Chain A
Amino acid sequence: MNAAMPQDPILQISRLQKRYGDVNVLKDIDISMAPGEFLVLVGPSGCGKSTLLSCISGLTDISSGTIRIAGKDRTNDEPADRDIAMVFQSYALFPNMSVERNIGFGLEVRKVEETEKKRKVAEVADLLKIEHLLYRRPAELSGGQRQRVAMGRALVREPKLFLFDEPLSNLDAKLRVTMRTEIKRIHQTTNASIVYVTHDQIEAMTLASRIVVMKDGVVQQIGTPQEIYNKPVNAFVADFMGAPSMNLMTGTATREGDHLRLQIPTPDGPPLELFDYGPGPETLSVGGTAELTIGLRPEAMTDLGLRSGGIDGRSLQSADCLLDVVEPAGADTYAVIQLGGTEAVARLSADAPVTAGQRVPIAFDLSKISYFDIASGNRL
C-alpha cells in the first residue's frame, strides 16, 4: 500500500487506535503521506474519517499508536504545537472579529510584530482575492467568502500540514464546484500538504493525489484515484467510489486452458457467457469452477455504436441483453439490465436507438473486469 518514500513523509500515522469506552472507532490506522500530497479521507457516515482528522489535529486524544508530523513525534502534543492548520466544516470564523483579525489571529496569539502581521495577512488576502473584505465581519460575508477567510487563516501561518474537514459541505452545488477548483488551484500554487475529509467521492476523485477509503474505522484502501477506480481492493470500495457505482454481479468462472468462462445468470433465459483472456483470480486453477462476484463499471458495458469495430472477441466482446429500464440522461443513456442477481447499469450513447424490453447487443470491455470473493468481498 505505501510505496517507498523518496523524502521524509510529512505525515506518518502508525497503528493508531481510538476507543470510546468499549467501542473501537478507529482500528489500526497506518498512513504515510509525502510532502505536497493532497490526501483525501473518504467514506460513508460513521466511517471514522472526521475522528481521524481530529486525532491528527490533536483536538482528540488517541488511545494508542503514534502520529509524526514533519518528522517529529506529535502524538502527545497540543494542537497549537503541531505546526498544522485546520479549516472547519462550519469555517469557525470568530464572529466578533473583523476578517483581518480573523486571519491574523494565530499571529496575534504568537505575538508577531504588528507590521509583519499586517503584511502577511495582506499577502494571503491577495492570494485568495479577499483584500476588499478585510474590514468586514463574518456575518456580512457570503458562504464562499467565509470559506476563503477560513483558508486564509490557515495559510497565513505557513504550517507544515493543512487539515480540511468537509469544507464544501455547507455550500450549494454550483458554489461547491467553483470552490473545489479554487482549492485545487491553491494546492498547485502553494504545493501545500493537505489532508482533506469528505463524504463526496466525486470531490475525492477530482481533488486527491491519493485517496484513503475508510469504512467502520478501518482503512479499506489507499491509492491514487486511478488505482482506486480501476483496481478496487474489495467490493465495498468498488461500490462506494465512482458514480454510478460499479456493477457487482454474482456469477461463476471456470478456468479452461487459456481463458476463463464466465457465466452470469439472467432471470429469464440462458446465462450470459463471456470469456476473459486476462489473468483472472490466481486461486482458480485449470478445470476449477468458482462462484464469485464479477465487477464491471457501467462504462465497460456499452452499446455497439462506435465500438462495433473494436469487437475482437477478446478484450471487447458482445452479447445480447434484455433491457429492463431505459433512462435517457442527456449526454448518455443508462439501461438497466437484470444480471447476476443485481440491476446492472450499462452506459449507452445518447442516441442509442433502444427502448425498454428490447434485446440488444451490449459490448463488454473485459480489460476492466474485477473479481471479488462473494463472502469477504475482497479482490481476487
Chain B
Amino acid sequence: MLGRRQKREKWILLAPALALLALVTLIPLANTLWLSFTDTRISALPEPVHFIGLENYVYALTDPDFQDALFRTLYFTIVSVGLEGILGVAVAVLLNQEFRGRTLLRALIILPWAVPTIVNAVAWRLIYHPDYGALNSLLFQLGLISDYRSWIGDPATAMNMVILADVWKNFPLVAYVALAALQTVPGDLNKAAAIEGAGPWKRFRSITLPWIAGPLMVVMVLRTIEAFRVFDIIYVMTGGGPADSTKTASFYVYQEYFNYLRSGSGASYAVLVAGISAVLIVFYYSATKRQTAGGAA
C-alpha cells in the first residue's frame, strides 16, 4: 500500500548503489565483451585497436589447452562440491544427535570457514611439503606409506590435494545449512517410520534426505558457482602446476591477461567462463525459487 511519492522514492534510494555497481561491474563487463572482439594486447604504448570479430572465440573454443582447463575445472567442481555435500550432510547428521560436547563441536566447525583462503592454502601447502610436511610424517609414522611423497609436486595427485584443502575449508557451510534443515524435521516422522520397521539408512534416504533436499540443493549450487571460478587457492598452492595439472579456467584467463598480456583473446576466454557461470547462476535462481515456493525453509 504505497502513495505515489513513495513509489518514486525507490529510485533515489537505489541510486548510489546502482551507480557504484554499474561503474564497477556493468561497464567493465561490457568492456570485456568489446575487448573480446579485438586483438588488443596490454602494453605501455597505446596501440591501434583492430576488430577481429569472432576470431578469438573460434580460437578459444578449439584451443585444446583451454578445453583441458575447462575439464579440470569441471573435475574440481564436481569432486569438491560432491565431497562437501557428503561430508557436510554426514557432519550435520552427527551434530544433530545428542551427545556431550555437541555444542562445543558445533561451534568448533566454524573455524575452517573462518580461516582466510590464503592462509588455508599456505597451511595445507606446508602440510603437503614433500620433505618436511605433516602429512608425509603422519602417514609414514602410521605405517601407511613407505616413502615420503611429493603430494602437490606430482601431477597425478596435485589436483586432489588441492580439492582436499578446499573441501576442508568449505564443508562447514554445507554442514550448517544441512543442520539447520535437519532441525526442522519433525521427530514424529522418523518415529513413525521406525515403528513401521524402516532401518536408519532407509529412514535417512526416504524421509530425512528429501526433507533437507531443498536448502541443501541451494547451498550446493552456490558452492558450485564458487568452485567453478576457483583461483586463489590454485595460485598459492600450486601456481597452476605441476605441468598445468591444476590450471583451472580462471587461472587460464589470468595467465592470458597477465602473463601473456593478450587482453583481446584473454577477454574471449573470460566471456566464455562468465557465460558458464551465468548458466550456473540461473540454476541457483531456479533452485531458490523452488525452495521458497515449496515452503519449508
- Kindly provide the distance from the CB of A81 to the nearest chain B CB, expressed in whole angstroms: 10
- Nearest to B1 among chain A residues (CB) is A60
B1 A59 Cβ-Cβ under 8 A: yes
For chain A, the count of residues having a C-beta within 8 Å of the partner chain is: 8
For chain B, the count of residues having a C-beta within 8 Å of the partner chain is: 5
A79 B1 Cβ-Cβ under 8 A: no
Does B10 count as interface, using CB distance less than 8 angstroms?
A: no
- Kindly provide the distance from the CB of A319 to the nearest chain B CB, expressed in whole angstroms: 53
Q: Which of B100-119 contact A (CB under 8 A)?
A: none
A59 and B3 CA atoms in complex are apart in Å by 6
A76 B4 Cβ-Cβ under 8 A: yes
Q: Which of B51-98 contact A (CB under 8 A)?
A: none
Instruction: Determine the chain A residues whose CB is within 8 A of the CB of B5 once the complex forms.
Output: 78
Q: Is the interface of A mostly helix, strand, loop or mixed?
A: loop
- What 0/1 readout, one digit per residue, does chain A (49-70) give for beta carbons within 8 Å of chain B? 0000010001111000000000
Does B2 count as interface, using CB distance less than 8 angstroms?
A: yes
- What 0/1 readout, one digit per residue, does chain A (5-30) give for beta carbons within 8 Å of chain B? 00000000000000000000000000
- What 0/1 readout, one digit per residue, does chain B (2-22) give for beta carbons within 8 Å of chain A? 111100000000000000000
Instruction: Determine the chain B residues whose CB is within 8 A of the CB of A59 once the complex forms.
Output: 1-3
A76 and B1 CA atoms in complex are apart in Å by 14
A54 B1 Cβ-Cβ under 8 A: yes
- Kindly provide the distance from the CB of B214 to the nearest chain A CB, expressed in whole angstroms: 30
A321 and B220 CA atoms in complex are apart in Å by 73
Instruction: Determine the chain B residues whose CB is within 8 A of the CB of A54 once the complex forms.
Output: 1
- Nearest to A20 among chain B residues (CB) is B1
B3 A58 Cβ-Cβ under 8 A: yes
Instruction: Determine the chain B residues whose CB is within 8 A of the CB of A60 once the complex forms.
Output: 1-3
Instruction: Determine the chain A residues whose CB is within 8 A of the CB of B1 once the complex forms.
Output: 54, 59-60
Instruction: Determine the chain A residues whose CB is within 8 A of the CB of B4 once the complex forms.
Output: 61, 76
A59 and B5 CA atoms in complex are apart in Å by 11
- Kindly provide the distance from the CB of A69 to the nearest chain B CB, expressed in whole angstroms: 15
- Kindly provide the distance from the CB of A142 to the nearest chain B CB, expressed in whole angstroms: 29
- Nearest to B6 among chain A residues (CB) is A78
Instruction: Determine the chain B residues whose CB is within 8 A of the CB of A58 once the complex forms.
Output: 3
- Kindly provide the distance from the CB of B12 to the nearest chain A CB, expressed in whole angstroms: 16
A76 and B5 CA atoms in complex are apart in Å by 10
Instruction: Determine the chain A residues whose CB is within 8 A of the CB of B2 once the complex forms.
Output: 59-61
- Nearest to B2 among chain A residues (CB) is A61
A58 and B6 CA atoms in complex are apart in Å by 11
- Nearest to A59 among chain B residues (CB) is B1
Instruction: Determine the chain B residues whose CB is within 8 A of the CB of A76 once the complex forms.
Output: 4
A231 and B4 CA atoms in complex are apart in Å by 41
A59 and B4 CA atoms in complex are apart in Å by 9
Instruction: Determine the chain A residues whose CB is within 8 A of the CB of B3 once the complex forms.
Output: 58-61, 78-79
- Nearest to A58 among chain B residues (CB) is B3
Which residues from chain A sit less than 8 Å from chain B, CB to CB? 54, 58-61, 76, 78-79
Q: 9 shortest A-B CB distances, which residue pairs?
A: A60-B1, A59-B1, A54-B1, A61-B4, A78-B3, A58-B3, A78-B5, A61-B3, A59-B3
6 examples of A-B residue contacts, CB within 8 angstroms: A54-B1, A58-B3, A60-B2, A61-B2, A61-B4, A78-B5
Given pairs A54-B1, A60-B3, 13 additional interface contacts (CB within 8 A):
A58-B3, A59-B1, A59-B2, A59-B3, A60-B1, A60-B2, A61-B2, A61-B3, A61-B4, A76-B4, A78-B3, A78-B5, A79-B3
